[in-house]
Structure 1
Amino acid sequence: MAANAASDETAVAIPSKMKAWVYSELGNPANVLRLESHVEVPRVEEDQVLIKVVAAALNPVDFKRMNGLFKDADSPFPIVPGYDVAGVVVRVGSKVKKLKIGDDVYGHVNEKPLEYPKQYGTLAEFVAVEEKLLATKPHSLSFEEAAATPLAVQTAYEGLERAKFSASKSILVLGGAGGCGTFVIQLAKKVYGSSRIAATSSTGKIELLRSLGTDLAIDYTQQNFEELPEKFDVVYDCVGQSERALKAVKEDGVVVCILPRGDPRALSFIVTSDGSILEKLEPFLEAKEVRVVMDPKSPFPFSRVIDAFSHLETNRAIGKIAIFPIP
């Protein structure tokens, strides 16, 4: 659908070209990613809004996609990467019902992250996104915090729902200091009311786990979690150790794995983006009972996206990495 599907009520001057990070071949971000200044501003479909991007965030799926792990179901080149966004609505499609120009919004822009994700993602000045994938930004969150929240918190929530998690159940989170893991701990504690939460991390991140509500913080450099005498109702695997996780779960328990090709006995899934989840969690996010953990080096400015990817690829990042300001 051409841009004329959008409402004419916009009062914002929208250029035809924008700055964006682009790659036209697969490979390491440092080798293939380029900052270009004459990229076409995306057209808006009837059910979409155009967002002036204020902040974006990186996820491991971004560099895995760039390296070709999902090439059989990807969009054509050139590709602007980026899944997470926070910004301001500057144009609305003719079938958009709730959002309006001037709204501060945030969301994860690919409903099915590994099934033909958008050719024009969030590492750009503008991005077109379906209304149903977005929510109004909580007032208490900065744009950087909002941008760093959607994909990770939705993944954490969907996994807990699939595991039928409840207050009566215990949970072990593998990779508790990462983007998804930090949210799993907090949702288990604040949303579901779990009274027994364990999580793993390296030595330097143990105090972070405790600050998020972990009852048993396990330093994986000192102790093998599967050798603990205690077993758990749910093991939430954020790091790809589902075979080991199966040794730490109760006989009738569930191992949840967010990485594809996990052990077939684990419940593996890929998150589905849905703005209604953000709306459901808004009271907890607004009150900062559930908060995004930002990496100490974050945010990275738009000009240093490659440096941000390099940091993410070390697997040593804490929580999330935001890109701000844009541009």
Structure 2
Amino acid sequence: MAAAETASATIPSYIKGWVYSQYGKAADVLKLDSNVPVPELKDDQVLIKVVAASLNPVDSKRMLGYFKDTDNIPTVPGYDVAGVVVKVGNQVKNFKVGDEVYGDLNVKALEYPTKHGSLAEYTAAEEKVLALKPKNLSFVEAASLPLAIETAYEGLERSGLSAGQSILILGGAGGVGTQIIQLAKHVFGASKIAATSSTGKLDLLKSLGVDLPIDYTKVKYEDLPEKFDVVYDAVGETDRALKAVKEGGQVVTILPPGLPPAIVFILTSTGETLEKLKPYLESGKVKPLIDPKGTFPFSQAVEAFSYLDTNRATGKVVIYPFP
């Protein structure tokens, strides 16, 4: 434990973090605070010096007060994190000081999410939501993955997609959609992949492995003669999705309420999924996708949220570097 003690000696008591104390849009409520207390460590947690964090639509919805029944403020937002372990709780078995880790901090996305997320210089995370960062990925790339790739994987698993089947992905160019495409192809063995996007993103879909890119501004996918074994709805169009699935096929959606018989689910975050997908990430078969705007520095978190909220991002919006 000597290493942990040495590392903890350099950990400040107060740090910089982005905080909101009332609900609303980031531009109105998110403020930089230089006196955020470093989180107290529970026995099953590690303290992480944050190197990069990515934003997700759930961060914005939470900030708007969508989950206030199980949430409370003030809050440091941010689900996804990549960084270095600087201290470990007494019961932590798999990580040590100095490990480079990444993960989605919230076990259940909407139920009692942490008040101290990843948009601060340090954050605490339960051991079970973390995995060691693949060596071939930068911290920026790693930070872009957890919530999106875990959501993609859990939905594909729930859909029952198996090798040789076809899938239609609604919202193929987004943070989750870009991962669904790659996992459907390389992990689940789909024989045909169709996906929707706007006109300018069709080439991106092809580059990720989509056989049938569909321009949603010109084509109604539910009117296509071809139907699919699985439709994965990442945009909230379950009513239309149900018309595009084969009889006996399955629709899965990540946006409540969803319509029966579609499967609606909210991600359960686990480092096990990241470990399972590590070979695909390390081989380069499955790649992180960062928005072409690149990264927003920590000081521009508000601008990053404003951009995310336009729904025009391709892949993920990442906050980097941190102070």
TM-score between the two structures when normalised by the length of structure 1: 0.97
What letter is aligned with 1:117?
A: P
SS in 2 for 1:146: helix
Question: Unpaired segments of 5 or more residues in structure 2?
Answer: none
Distance in 2, matches of 1:194 and 1:159, equals 14
What letter is aligned with 1:199?
A: A
What is the aligned partner in structure 2 of residue 167 from structure 1?
A: 163
Query: 2:4–2:86: 8 Å Cα contact kept in structure 1?
Result: no
What is the aligned partner in structure 2 of residue 94 from structure 1?
A: 90
After superposition, the C-alpha distances for 1:153-190 in whole angstroms (9 at most, x for unaligned) are 00000000001111121100000000000000000111
Query: 2:4–2:97: 8 Å Cα contact kept in structure 1?
Result: no
1:264 Cα shift? Answer: 2.7
After superposition, the C-alpha distances for 1:100-150 in whole angstroms (9 at most, x for unaligned) are 000000000000010010000000001100001000000111100000000
Q: How does 1:108-127 map to 2 (within 5 A)?
A: 108-127=104-123
What is the aligned partner in structure 2 of residue 178 from structure 1?
A: 174
Q: How does 1:181-260 map to 2 (within 5 A)?
A: 181-260=177-256
1:292 Cα shift? Answer: 1.2
After superposition, the C-alpha distances for 1:235-290 in whole angstroms (9 at most, x for unaligned) are 00000000000000011011000012111321000000000000000011112210
What is the aligned partner in structure 1 of residue 68 from structure 2?
A: 71
What is the aligned partner in structure 2 of residue 20 from structure 1?
A: 17
Distance in 2, matches of 1:293 and 1:90, equals 28
> Which is worse superposed, 212-221 or 292-301?
292-301
What letter is aligned with 1:322?
A: V
1:133 to 129, 135, 148: 129
Distance in 1, matches of 2:163 and 2:194, equals 14
Query: 1:54–1:86: 8 Å Cα contact kept in structure 2?
Result: yes
What letter is aligned with 2:238?
A: S
Distance in 1, matches of 2:22 and 2:223, equals 44
What is the aligned partner in structure 2 of residue 3 from structure 1?
A: none
Distance in 1, matches of 2:300 and 2:155, equals 32
Question: Unpaired segments of 5 or more residues in structure 1?
Answer: 1-5
SS in 2 for 1:72: coil
Q: Would you say 1:82 and 2:78 are equivalent positions?
A: yes
1:285 to 273, 276, 281: 281
What letter is aligned with 2:218?
A: Q
Query: 1:199–1:216: 8 Å Cα contact kept in structure 2?
Result: yes
What letter is aligned with 1:230?
A: E
Distance in 2, matches of 1:184 and 1:255, equals 14
Report the count of equivalent residues: 321
> Which is worse superposed, 259-268 or 278-287?
259-268
Distance in 2, matches of 1:116 and 1:19, equals 23
Structure-2 change in CA distance of 1:197 and 1:17 (3 Å): same
Structure-2 change in CA distance of 1:221 and 1:234 (3 Å): same
Distance in 1, matches of 2:292 and 2:127, equals 32
What letter is aligned with 1:10?
A: A
Distance in 2, matches of 1:225 and 1:314, equals 23
What is the aligned partner in structure 1 of residue 320 from structure 2?
A: 324
What letter is aligned with 1:33?
A: L
CA RMSD for the aligned pairs? 1.1
What is the aligned partner in structure 2 of residue 262 from structure 1?
A: 258
Distance in 1, matches of 2:14 and 2:310, equals 33
Distance in 2, matches of 1:311 and 1:119, equals 23
Query: 2:178–2:315: 8 Å Cα contact kept in structure 1?
Result: yes
Q: In percent, how many aligned pairs have the same letter?
A: 63
Distance in 2, matches of 1:178 and 1:274, equals 21
What letter is aligned with 1:55?
A: A
